[in-house]
Amino acid sequence: MPTVKFYASLRKVTGEREAQIQAGSVKEVLQRLSTDYDGELRRYLKISSILVNGKNVIHMKGKRTRLKPDDVVSIFPPLGGG
Amino acid sequence: MSTKYSGYLGRFLDIDLSTGKVGEYDVTDEMLEAYLGSKGLASKILYDTLSKGVNPLGEENVFIVNTGPLVNSGAPCTSRFNVTTKSPLTGGILSCNCGGNFGMFLKRAGFDGLILRGKASKPTWIHIEDGEVELKDAKDLWGLTTEEAQEKLPKGTGKMVIGPAGENAVLYACIISQERALGRGGAGAVMGSKNIKAITAKGNHKVPKANPEKFKKDVRKWVEILKEHPSTGEMMPEYGTAVFINRCNAANTLPTHNFKRGSFAEADAVSGETLAETRLTGNFGCASCVIKCGRRVEVDGKNVKGPEYETLGLLGPNLENPDLGLICDWNYQADLVGVDTVSLGNVLGFAMELNENGLWDNGLEFGKVDNISGVIDDIANRRGIGDDLADGVKRLSEKYGGKDYAMEVKGLELPAYEPRGAVGHGLGYAIANRGGCHIGGGYMVYFEANGPLTMDPLTTRAKPQLTAMLQTMLDALSDSGSCQFTGFTTIPKQAIELNPHGNVYRVVAKSLELMGPMMELILRFPKMLAFVPPMALMQHPRVITDLTGMKMTFGKFLEIGLRTYMIERLFNAREGFTGADDTLPRRSTHQVQEGGTDTTVPLNQMIRIYYRVRGLDANGAPKHDTLRRLGMRA
């Protein structure tokens, strides 16, 4: 089952650092998260970047990116810093 | 000097420490129009003042402290001040920019800047008050930590001080103002070489404004923009720069094991999130700041400044150290003795790898933390192995070997971004004028791995042009006296809040890769942007116009940034730097990351385009035509 890791504000919203999500694609991960957590998370998911094994899915197949059971999905809200 | 422009005090001190003579340096209106202030203006003064080949730690080097027009004006995030000198670490030009409070107090004392020449005959403290200068005996301050020295200096003054590392000529000694650092390149060692322990300033001068009503109105709007923006109004106050640890780790851009890898299994233990959950006692900002990215933590029962992203990355993963508490302790200790934590983390990591490879038996090992605190003190006092470590990575590699993994450019150690995971950022390290620097290099990683709107981090498309554009904007921001973090709002809130999985985002992100030719055209002919940008897009030109009375268009603002880079280039070229110095460590260009990206930084193909965009010749020097276009000459 892929591991989904939450960062920055998403940890406050979910109350968790990570979760195991039964999903075969990024789209399924987002659907499961939207169902399992409250509306605040849905607002963040709309503006968050998603990396699969370190690669941003916008440079892969977006939400259609397929997932294997040992994949790590990292979700980040927009950040600023340097 | 006097000036027709508001925003300035119109006085620039010129102090000869060898003779004790105090005069004024003549800064003309033409110089202000061309360079605005801060880094650009100081670089011009340094270029005009020094001749080729002076010893950076000798009497003939000069040490310039100055401000931009926005400093102490009431504009947000404008307490910055600048130090420019010839670096003892690189032998090239060095400018450092700092928050703290000294810049504001220097202007209150009635001066835009000061230049120190020669060398005082004994430890000295310079006090500037309401237009007057006094050179005071600093024998009771010499040897003190930066905190002790600041506590002993008069209350109600702006202060900048060095610690024992600056006194002992550690080549990456820094300068501290309150708890902020002029960190990189050894400015603290130059100050120490002149026997100056501290400079203090106070006074009641106010910054004159050309259009006070409009200035007030635009500043109010600017504060609103900063507070409402997701980067400057939410993430930076909440997590500070430390929030990048996990993001960089996920994107293989977190230096680990002396940059051998781009991710660390225990990165979360030293992340901004963990810092906020376990050790944070509050956040803070420099004077006039509305962002407040600074962290506060408890060390030995004291509430002190917490580590920034760079420090966390380089004293944590880069040393295979997952102990956040120790990083907080070392960060505080490094500030007390006055050493740059970026160079420190590199020096320790490099020494550990030398030991691992059997090249130098020094007792330092990755993951071994019990001896680090002692080594920091040894470096500051040049004791034992600390004497070698105090000379930085480049000189260590010349003495012990390991050149391929000596992570420095032009002698300056790399910041905490592993460039094989963000190749445009690697280009920035190679061509930054002060050496391996993320700010001087344009901070391309923000558009490759960390920011809200990212390109493919491994493509080279448009990276040279974007790097040149970002450098130019960051240089111009610095010249104005503004914190570079205000630049985050140049990406509108609406763009940051685009759905990364929607078509609009995809088009915008992809279009970045197509913007190369347009960027190149703008950088070649910036004057064509003869308008003042809308407040919501970029605040600085409008507020500078309100304040100074200069008609600051976007094009003129960019031209100031272009000149700033070019005057630094001219300085380095005169010192003998060539295209061969615009390079990266072999580890970055010829070895793939262990367990990370399977690519290296394709530097040569990017640098060729970068030189063309900048108007540099094949050897990295400014072309005559480029200088002419910018109204400059060698």
pLDDT tens profile A32-63: 999 888 778 888 888 888 999 988 898 888 89
Q: Which residues of B touch A62 (CB under 8 A)?
A: 501, 506
User: Which of B417, B496, B466, B38 shows the shortest CA–CA distance to A77?
Assistant: B496
Domains of chain A, by residue range, sit at 3-76
Overall average pLDDT of the B23-35 stretch: 98
B189: helix, strand or coil: helix
Given a cut of 80, whether residue B77 has pLDDT beyond it is yes
pTM, two decimals, is 0.96
Lowest mean pLDDT among A10-19, B196-205, B260-269, B415-424: A10-19
CA distance A42 to chain B (A): 12
> What are the beta bridge partners of residue B408?
B413
Q: What percent of chain B has pLDDT over 70?
A: 100
Q: Which residues contact B108 (CB under 8 A, 6 or more apart)?
A: B72, B158, B201, B202, B203, B204, B205
Residues in chain B: 634
- Domain ranges, ordered by start, for chain B: 12-202, 230-413, 419-629
**CA proximity to B450, closest of B145, B293, B241:** B241
Pick the CATH number of B419-629 from 3.40.50.1010, 2.40.50.140, 1.10.599.10, 3.40.1800.10: 1.10.599.10
Rg of chain B, C-alpha, whole Å: 23
Q: Which of A76-80, B129-133, B499-503, B594-598 bottoms out in mean pLDDT, i.e. has the lowest?
A: A76-80
| Strands (E) located in B498-544 | none
- Write out pLDDT tens, residues B83-142: 999 999 999 999 999 998 899 999 999 999 999 999 999 999 999 999 999 999 999 999
Model confidence at A82: pLDDT above 60: no
Q: Which band of pLDDT confidence, cut at 50, 70 and 90, is reported for residue B545?
A: very high
- Count of C-beta atoms within a 10 Å radius of residue B298: 14
Q: What is the pLDDT of residues B245-256, one digit of tens each?
A: 999 999 999 999
CA dihedral sign, ordered A15, A18, A21, A26: positive
A10 close to A18: Cβ distance less than 8 angstroms: no
Where is average pLDDT lowest: B60-69, B233-242, B243-252, B366-375? B233-242
Task: Give the integer Cα–Cα distance in Å for B363 and B393.
Answer: 17
More confident site: B490 or B371 = B371
Q: What is the mean pLDDT of residues B195-220?
A: 97
Which CATH code is given to the segment(s) B12-202?
3.60.9.10
Which residue is it, tokens 């080097």? Answer: B61
By C-alpha distance, which of B525, B614, B612 is closest to B564? Answer: B614
| Nearest-angstrom CA–CA distance, B336 and A46 | 44
Q: How confident is the model at residue B1 (pLDDT cuts 50, 70, 90)?
A: low
Q: Are B418 and B259 in contact (CB under 8 A)?
A: yes
- For residue B320, give the nearest of B265, B268, B372 by alpha carbon: B265
Q: What is the pLDDT of residue B452?
A: 79
Measured between beta carbons, the chain B residues lying within 8 angstroms of A77 are 235
Tokens representing B75 are: 């504009």
Comparing CA positions, the residue from B296, B302, B307 lying closest to residue B345 is B307
Residue entry with tokens 């709309």: A46
- What is chain A's alpha carbon radius of gyration, rounded to the nearest angstrom? 12
pLDDT at B239: 83
Q: Count residue pairs from A and B with Cβ separation < 8 A.
A: 109
Residue reference for tokens 């892969």: A60
Residues of B in contact with A49 (CB under 8 A): 452, 454, 500
Residue A79 banded pLDDT, cuts 50, 70, 90 = low
Distance in Å from the first CA to the final CA of chain B: 24
Identify the CATH class of A3-76. Answer: alpha beta
> A12 CA to chain B: closest CA distance, Å?
10
SS3 call for B77? coil
Minimal C-alpha gap between B49 and chain A (Å): 33
Given a cut of 90, whether residue B12 has pLDDT beyond it is yes
Strands across the sheet with B302-305, in order?
B280-284, B294-299, B302-305
| Among A4, A7, A61, the residue to mutate for chain B (most B Cβ within 10 A) | A7
How far apart are the C-alpha atoms of B91 and B56, rounded to whole Å?
7
| pLDDT of amino acid A81 | 47
Strand, coil or helix: what is B284?
A: strand
Tens digit of each residue's pLDDT (9 = 90 or more) over B190-206: 999 999 999 999 999 99
Looking at domain B230-413, its CATH architecture is Orthogonal Bundle (1.10)
Chain B touched by A62 (CB under 8 Å): yes
Q: Which of residues 27-46 of A touch B (CB under 8 A)?
A: 30, 46
CA separation for the pair B419, B313 (Å, rounded): 14
**Average pLDDT, integer, range B576-601:** 95
Distance from CA of B449 to the nearest CA of A (A): 8
Q: Are B104 and B71 in contact (CB under 8 A)?
A: yes
Q: What value does the mean pLDDT of chain B take?
A: 96
Predicted local confidence at residue B495, as pLDDT: 82
Q: pLDDT grade, residue B509 (50/70/90)?
A: confident
Contact criterion met (CB < 8 Å) for B506 and A49? no
Strands B63-66 and B81-86: antiparallel
Q: Is the pLDDT of residue B467 over 50?
A: yes
Average pLDDT on B46-56 reads 98
CB contact under 8 A, B238 and A17: no
Query: Looking at beta carbons, which residues of chain A come within 8 Å of B497?
Result: 46-47, 78
Is there a contact between B46 and B93 (Cβ–Cβ < 8 Å)?
Answer: yes
For residue B497, give the chain A residue with the closest CA: A47
Handedness of CA B576, B580, B586, B592 (dihedral sign): positive
> With bands split at pLDDT 50, 70 and 90, how would you rate the model's confidence at B627?
very high
Section B401-407 average pLDDT = 98
What pLDDT, on the 0 to 100 scale, is given for residue B634? Answer: 83
Alpha carbon distance B249, B254 (integer Å):
5
Is A76 within 8 Å of chain B by CB? yes
- Could you tell me how many residues make up chain A? 82
Mean per-residue pLDDT for A19-31? 95
Q: What DSSP character marks residue B258?
A: T
- pLDDT for res A36: 87
